[in-house]
């Protein structure tokens, strides 16, 4: 049991969503199993289907068994977790459901005599978020309308809006009901261990930071590749496309972590200030330069997927060259590449250093054969490798590339928290460091909007399934 955490009610909008079933409910169960939830908590699932508490408990039980089998342990623990689950049927756009929700919340509060500590989690399509926030406010459940001692927070899933305009609108609606300190915009990449480690790797070691700039670094590449397609998400992908789905959030957040200046301290605001400055320093992609710096692709067969238009020009792949026009990075290209149905599933950041001034030892045409690199693999492995040249055994003085490698799996034995587990706990205890701030969500959309605007009507290049996608020239 987590004695530092107040008793609270967790309200899960979209309780029957795929995300709730695969990630959220299993992560909540893991938190319970690890003793990270308070003594008393209630989880109220809210969704449209007309099912009751018992059916929701059965669904949750099945999801947890399917998606967190290693955590189950003693079945009686799963049973007692499920006793904390409740369900409210609601159409998110209509006010009636919120009255029932309020009643369900009040029942719990009266029963447990605690004040209303409430965490609302929106695992819903983006168009519904404004309705939910608005209705919470109208029903006295908004963060700003709290009248007793207690806390209220809202966690909002991506996509946070569809573009800058809708993100601004959503920010305004959210700000009407919740203070920014009560608002948690979630990007699950920020909960991944190797992503959180970027800050530690850069700023707890004296040897890397002096080299971390335009004088020594030649280029940086960020790859987020998946070896599967859009699965059953055709309808969503047709509206979203890869730039919005991956680059706007995961991609730009990885970039910001690599590029940011050291924060003045480790407060959430200090870290988020530095990330925001990165996005504001990105060289604008205008109509003149965007086509030189962006390639969009679509995997062959995408148009045959369910809910996809036969003449769709939605991108499932993007390669983008970005420049950070600030003192530290001016002139260094950042290559970001992400896509569906690529050759393998890998998320990796490669920092390539400049060559030494003279190339004595090897391949005269290029030093890239042994160029020094720091390779941060986020998944599937959680490793950091340093690549350098070593003398090939034998008489000749020639070099070959070799690697020194750190692997989370072999270096640490502690139990691994899943990204959602970690971020849910952060939201519960009130740590916003790994959540996206209002200004940054808007700055990220501004970058994506400028690319999309300039690429309007461009037909993405087809690429074969399980290839690496079209190259950026
Ligand atoms: C989600 C995207 O945010 O991230 C998906 O909507 C993508 O399209 C997923 O597959 C990737 O997450 P992970 O953690 O599996 O790399």
Q: Is the CB of 226 under 6 A from ligand 1?
A: yes
Residue 76 burial (C-beta neighbours within 10 Å; 0-12, 13-18, 19+): exposed
Give the pairing type, strands 217-225 and 333-339.
parallel
Residue nearest to atom 13 of ligand 1 (CA): 189
**Ligand 1 binding pocket mutation candidate from 159, 186, 189, 233 (most atoms within 8 A of CB):** 189
What does the pLDDT look like over 353-371, one tens digit per residue?
Answer: 999 888 788 665 567 777 9
Is residue 109 within 8 Å of residue 1, measured between CB atoms?
A: no
pLDDT greater than 90 at residue 163: yes
Domain boundaries, the chain: 8-186, 190-463
Give the Å distance between the CA of 238 and the centre of ligand 1: 16
Is residue 434 among the annotated active site residues? no
Q: Choose the residue to mutate in 246, 302, 305 for probing ligand 1, maximizing ligand atoms within 8 Å of C-beta.
A: 246
Cα–ligand 1 centroid distance for 447 (angstroms): 20
Q: Give CATH for domain 190-463.
A: 3.30.360.10
Q: How confident is the model at residue 250 (pLDDT cuts 50, 70, 90)?
A: very high
CATH of 8-186, one of 3.40.50.720, 3.30.70.660, 3.30.9.10, 3.60.21.10: 3.40.50.720
Predicted confidence (pLDDT) per residue in 429-468, tens digit: 999 999 999 999 999 999 999 999 999 989 999 999 999 9
- What is the 245 CA–ligand 1 centroid distance (Å)? 8
Residue 250 CA: nearest ligand 1 atom is 3
Closest approach atom of ligand 1 to CA 187: 3
All residues at 6 or more sequence positions from 78 whose CB lies less than 8 Å from its CB, including other chains? 29, 61, 64, 65, 72
Which atom of ligand 1 is nearest to 236's Cα? Answer: 6
Residue 113 is predicted with a pLDDT of 46
Asked if residue 397 has pLDDT above 60, the reply is: yes
Bridge partners, residue 45, by sequence: 12, 87
Active-site residue, from 250, 363, 434, 466:
250
- pLDDT > 70? residue 3: no
Distance 117 CA to ligand 1 centre (A): 30
Which of 3-7, 38-42, 158-162, 310-314 bottoms out in mean pLDDT, i.e. has the lowest?
Answer: 3-7
Distance CA 10, CA 240 (A): 29
Burial class (CB in 10 A: 0-12, 13-18, 19+), 304: exposed
Residue 187 Cβ < 6 Å to ligand 1: no
- Calculate how far, in angstroms, residue 196's C-alpha sits from the geometric centre of ligand 1: 17
Instruction: From the CA of 224, give the closest atom in ligand 1.
Output: 16
Residue 114 has pLDDT above 60, yes or no: no
1 compared with 30, residue with greater pLDDT: 30
Computed over every residue of the chain, the mean pLDDT equals 94
What mean pLDDT do residues 239-264 have? 98
Residue 303, pLDDT score: 98
Q: Is 245 in the pocket of ligand 1 (CB under 6 A)?
A: yes
pLDDT at 473 over 60: yes
Give pLDDT tens digits for 197-228.
Answer: 999 999 999 999 999 999 999 999 999 999 99
* Protein residue with least CA distance to atom 6, ligand 1: 245
pLDDT tens, position by position, 328-341: 999 999 999 999 99
> Of all protein residues, whose CA lies closest to atom 8 belonging to ligand 1?
245
Distances (CA, A) of 437 to 143, 368, 384, 434: 17, 39, 28, 9
How far, in Å, is the centroid of ligand 1 from the Cα of 334? 21
Task: Give the Å distances, CA to CA, from 299 to 320, 323, 404.
Answer: 17, 27, 35
Checking if the pLDDT of 115 tops 80, the result is: no
d(CA 259, CA 244): 21
Structure tokens at 25: 């409910």
């Amino acid at each position: 049991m987590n004695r530092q955490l107040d008793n609270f009610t967790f309200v899960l909008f979209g309780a029957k969503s795929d995300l709730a079933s695969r990630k959220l409910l299993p992560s909540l169960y893991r938190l319970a199993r690890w003793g990270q939830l308070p003594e008393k908590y209630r989880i109220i699932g809210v969704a449209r289907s007309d099912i009751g508490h018992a059916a929701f408990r059965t669904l949750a039980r099945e999801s947890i068994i399917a998606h967190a089998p290693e955590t189950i342990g003693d079945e009686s623990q799963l049973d007692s977790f499920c006793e904390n689950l409740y369900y409210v049927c609601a159409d998110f756009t209509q006010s009636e459901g919120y009255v029932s929700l309020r009643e369900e919340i009040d029942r719990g509060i009266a029963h447990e005599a605690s004040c209303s500590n409430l965490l609302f989690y929106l695992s819903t399509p983006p168009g519904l978020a404004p309705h939910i926030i608005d209705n919470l406010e109208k029903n006295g459940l908004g963060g700003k309308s709290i009248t007793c001692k207690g806390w209220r927070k809202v966690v909002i899933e991506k996509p946070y809006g569809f573009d800058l305009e809708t993100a601004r609108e959503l920010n305004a609606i959210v700000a009407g009901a919740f203070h920014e300190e009560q608002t948690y915009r979630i990007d699950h990449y920020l909960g991944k261990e190797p992503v959180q480690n970027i800050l530690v790797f850069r700023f707890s070691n004296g040897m890397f930071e002096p080299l971390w700039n335009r004088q020594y670094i030649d280029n940086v590449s960020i790859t987020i590749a998946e070896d599967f397609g859009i699965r059953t998400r055709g309808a969503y992908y047709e509206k979203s496309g890869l730039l919005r789905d991956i680059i706007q959030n995961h991609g730009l957040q990885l970039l910001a972590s690599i590029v940011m200046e050291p924060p003045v301290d480790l407060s959430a605001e200090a870290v988020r200030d530095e990330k925001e400055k990165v996005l504001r320093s990105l060289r604008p992609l205008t109509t003149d330069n965007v086509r030189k710096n962006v390639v969009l692709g679509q995997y062959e067969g995408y148009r045959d997927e369910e809910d996809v238009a036969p003449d769709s020009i939605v991108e499932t792949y993007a390669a983008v060259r970005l420049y950070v026009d600030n003192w530290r990075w001016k002139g260094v290209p950042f290559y970001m590449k992400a896509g569906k149905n690529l050759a393998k599933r890998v998320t990796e950041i490669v920092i390539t250093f400049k060559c030494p001034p003279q190339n004595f030892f090897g391949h005269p045409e290029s030093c890239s054969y042994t160029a020094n690199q720091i390779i941060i693999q986020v998944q599937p492995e959680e490793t950091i490798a340093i690549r350098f040249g070593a003398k090939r055994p034998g008489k000749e003085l020639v070099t070959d590339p070799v690697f020194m490698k750190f692997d989370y799996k072999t270096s640490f034995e502690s139990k691994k928290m899943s990204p959602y587990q970690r971020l849910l706990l952060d939201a519960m205890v009130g740590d916003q460091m790994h959540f996206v701030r209002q200004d940054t969500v808007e700055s990220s959309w501004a970058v994506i909007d400028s690319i999309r605007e300039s690429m309007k009507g461009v037909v993405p290049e087809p690429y074969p399934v399980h290839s690496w996608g079209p190259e950026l020239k």
